[in-house]
Amino acid sequence: MVLVLVVTVQPLLNSPLQIAEKAAGTWHEIGETPGYTMHVSHTSGTSYSVTYPRWQYDGEGFELRGYELRGGGGENSMNDAVKTITYDNGSDELTISDKGGEHTYTFSRVTP
């Protein structure tokens, strides 16, 4: 008797490939009044520019690091201004959080 076991593994919902391919674009805050709009642009390689008027009116540099984009702290990645952006493929939403996690906002994609 031969027993064959087949295992299938679904892709991770927030894999690096997902955020790298899908983060760029225009996003609008969900459930916030007023709701701010965030623009994410892929600049080159693992570099992104993020414009989010709630925290910074000018574009800030972010880097792809594993499953997230991290940036906003200038040269010092330990700076309290560091922000993290994650992507949820199941809902097609981005979430941005400050370093301490005290301020977190979720965004839906703005379609043209």
Q: What is the pLDDT of residue 8?
A: 38
Nearest to 71 by CA among 62, 60, 81, 80: 62
Q: Could you give the CA distance from residue 102 to residue 85 in angstroms, rounded to a whole number?
A: 14
Q: What is the pLDDT of residues 52-63, one digit of tens each?
A: 998 877 889 999
Which tokens is 84 given? 């993290």
Q: What is the pTM of this model?
A: 0.78
**What topology is assigned to 16-109 in CATH?**
Lipocalin (2.40.128)
Give me the residue spans of the domains in the chain: 16-109
Residues in the chain with pLDDT < 70? 1-16, 73-81
